[in-house]
Amino acid sequence: MKGNHLVSSRFCQTLLPPTFNTSEMSLAQLLDIALQNNPSTKQTWAMARASAARYGETMSAFLPDIEFSSFYFRQRAAFPNTSVPTTAGSALPTSGGTETNIGGSTFFGSTTTSTQPIYFTEAGPDLTLSYTLFDFGQRTAASLAAREALYYADLTHNQQIQIVLETVMSDYYNYLYEISVLRSTEANLANAELSLDAANQKFALGLAALGDVAQARTQYLQNKINLTSQRQSVENAFALLAADIGLPANCPFKVQPLPDQIIAHPVLESVDQLVCLAQNQRQDFLAAQANIRSKEAALLGAKRAPLPVIASSFDFGRYYFANGQHEDYHWTALVTLSFPIFNGFFYRNQIRNAQANVELSKAQLLQTELSIIQDVTTAHLGVKTAAQNLTDSEEYLKAAELEFNIAISGYKAGTLTILNVISAQTSVADARSKKAGAQKDWFSSLAMLAFATGSLCATPNEEAL
């Protein structure tokens, strides 16, 4: 720990608020930590930026290419040189000699010759401008496909953010649920100990058989084992929560507990209205639509790939010869027309591949939409069920606690047996567990409904659309 940064490696940092180790973290604070540190959102954000860069690459095709080049060329060449030249009118050369005419004079050389090196130097810069004049929309199709792919990556990143939020919320409520179960198990152990003490007292007074003590002790030890196991469950839930918010599992922190009083009165819209809302807000559904548009643009590009391309280029430069003693300008203008005649059915199969990708993306959209409708329908019913279970579990716990108090009092008075006490004790333990589960289900169902409708990151204006 260094300041408010927990360095997990030399490649990345884990960002934490200054009050991380000094106060209980609320759910909102945990979500904020998760959005900054969860590795999955970092991955999707990097993928979105890569898609933006690829879209920028396709846009460069609409601009001219300007290239600068320069060269330096030097050559050494050897030419024959007459060793003993004589002027015309002198003695004729011997057989096998050579004759050279330079400047109107004729020289004769003997058969013995040598070479003279000659050096040639050339240098100069070149500036080349090239631009595609017309390609029947091939650049446009490639750019559209890349742009829709960018939308797909961006929407996928947005969906991953909502997935992280829903996961952290679920882990948070699960961790509090395990703590609640731990508290319930501790209370169950206290009840079992109370029953065991009552059985020991009656046995000591000769009012109870040894079997009563054995049964009460069995229940006590069973609850003790359950308490040990539940402590492990709490640690497992904490480790899962820490990992999903992007922290090491051995990093200690505290979270705020659930409120003591939970009121569950759900006022929900109809399933059809919620499905319509989800179709407008679910980022994975919008991403699937963008994926179809990207594949359709890629199909259009594949169909236009075999069409002619008209391109142009202009080259301008200046050459220097013989160490700058002679120089000259040059320029070249060029217009080209090119199109494939036969390429082994490459373009035909490219079109078929693009068509198959379009069909695949449409099937994925249908699958996503059906999954969304299923999620919304299930979450809608889950909220109503959780609200009813929460109300019933509270009444169940009150009734079970009353039953246990009556049973333990009746056992001490001798009107009830140890079996009545154990039965009532089991009912209390079950009621406490069900209440803790109902509280968790209530909050989890609300989070699931918000996730199913895509409302976790939506603003009030977006939710009203």
Q: What is the pLDDT of residues 305-339, one digit of tens each?
A: 999 999 999 999 988 876 556 677 889 999 999 99
To the nearest 10 degrees (0 to 180), the angle between helices 346-413 and 418-452 is 150
Residue 26 lies in a domain: yes
Query: Could you tell me if residue 106 is inside a domain?
Result: no
- In 164-285, at which residue ranges do the beta strands (DSSP E only) sit? 254-255
Q: Is residue 117 domain-resident?
A: no
Tell me how far apart the alpha carbons of residues 172 and 437 are, in angstroms, rounded to a whole number: 13
CATH of the domain at 50: 1.20.1600.10
- The answer as to whether 447 is a domain residue is yes
What is the number of alpha carbons within 13 Å of residue 147 lying toward its C-beta?
9
Instruction: Mention every residue, 6+ apart, whose C-beta is less than 8 A from residue 414.
Output: 202, 207
Question: Which pLDDT score is estimated for 14?
Answer: 67
pLDDT computed for residue 165 by the predictor: 95
Domain extent at residue 301: 16-72+137-463
CB within 8 Å of 327: residues ≥ 6 apart: 318, 319, 320, 321
User: How far apart (Å, rounded) are the C-alpha atoms in residues 97 and 95?
Assistant: 6
> Which has more pLDDT, 240 or 18?
240
**pLDDT computed for residue 103 by the predictor:** 43
Task: Indicate the pLDDT class of residue 385, thresholds 50, 70 and 90.
Answer: very high
Structural domain includes residue 112: no
β pairing state of 98-102 and 105-109: antiparallel
Q: Is 67 helix (H, G, I), strand (E, B) or coil?
A: strand
Structural contact between residues 445 and 386, judged by C-beta atoms closer than 8 angstroms: yes
- Strand 24-25 relative to strand 98-102: parallel, antiparallel, unpaired? unpaired
Q: How far apart, in Å, are the Cα atoms of 35 and each of 28, 42, 165, 247? A: 11, 9, 8, 12
Q: Say if 90 falls within a structural domain.
A: no
Count CB atoms within 10 A of the CB of residue 322: 11
Nearest to 446 by CA among 273, 242, 241, 263: 263
Q: Do the domain assignments include residue 129?
A: no
What tens digit of pLDDT does each residue of 192-237 get? 999 999 999 988 888 888 889 999 999 999 999 999 999 999 999 9
Q: What is the 3-state secondary structure (H, E, C) of 126-155?
A: EEEEEEEEECCCHHHHHHHHHHHHHHHHHH
Give the whole-angstrom CA distance, residue 250 versus residue 3: 18
Q: Tell me: the pLDDT tens digits for 141-190?
A: 999 999 999 999 999 999 999 999 999 999 999 999 999 999 999 999 99
Q: Give the residue-averaged pLDDT of 27-35.
A: 92
| Helix residue spans in 245-345 (DSSP H) | 271-281, 283-304
Q: What angle do CA 119, 125, 128 make, to 5 degrees?
A: 135
The two structure tokens encoding residue 159: 């969906």
Strand partners for 330: 317
Give the HSE-up count for residue 177: Cα atoms under 13 Å, Cβ half-sphere. Answer: 21
In a domain, 397, yes or no: yes
Q: Domain total for the chain?
A: 1
